[in-house]
Amino acid sequence: MATLKYSRQRESIREFVMNSREHPTADTVYAGIKAEFPNISLGTVYRNLSLLVDLGEIAKITTGDGPDRFDCNTKPHSHFICTQCHNITDIEASEFDCMKEKVAEGFDGKITGHMTTFYGICKECLEAKKIKKTS
């Protein structure tokens, strides 16, 4: 049931996320395709992002502070989230890719995914702070 039909809006949303290196929020995606679809609604953006996540074409990142972000990289990797500017940086920590399998050994449930997030202050914010202090 529920065969997928083509939609120009969904294609645009997918393209936008695929070409983003910034881990956009739903709102950022919305603003980004507003030029192409002046009448598009936030609801449509949310519906399609959620659908693309279900299809496994993009990934959702829950930040714990502010709106969810979306990631064109669906391969297992970690994130660094700056608690000041909220920018997200990818961290390729390949040594942790085996985590799921490692933890799954002797675990009674079924593990389907895992996500590691590092929190802190990014280089830019560290420098901005320093400048502020001396002025």
Partner DNA sequence: CTTACTGCAAAGTATTTGCAAAACG
Partner DNA sequence: CGTTTTGCAAATACTTTGCAGTAAG
The yes or no reply on residue 41 touching DNA (CB under 7 A) is yes
Question: Is residue 10 part of the contact set for DNA (CB under 7 A)?
Answer: yes
Residue of 15, 31, 37, 121 that binds DNA (CB under 7 A): 37
- Is 99 a binding residue for its own copies by CB under 8 A? The answer is yes
48 is a site residue for DNA (CB under 7 A): yes
- 52 vs 1: CA distance, rounded Å: 17
Phi/psi class of residue 106: alpha, beta or left (left: φ > 0; alpha: ψ in -120 to 50)?
Answer: left
Strand partners of residue 82: 120
35 binding DNA? (CB under 7 A): no
58: phi then psi, degrees, rounded to nearest 5: -135, 170
User: Among 34-42, 73-81, 88-96, 101-109, which window interacts with DNA (CB under 7 A)?
Assistant: 34-42
Question: Cα(81)–Cα(90) distance, rounded to whole angstroms?
Answer: 9
7 binds its own copies (CB under 8 A): no
Residue in the structure block whose two tokens are 């002797």: 106
96 touching DNA, by CB under 7 A: no
Q: Which one-letter DSSP state was computed for residue 25?
A: B
Residues 114-133 that bind its own copies (CB under 8 A): 114-123, 125-126
* Residue 17 and residue 58 in contact, taking contact as beta carbons nearer than 8 Å: yes
Asked if 25 touches its own copies (CB under 8 A), the answer is no
Applying CB under 7 A, the residues found at the interface with DNA are 1-10, 25-27, 37, 39-44, 46-48, 50, 66-68
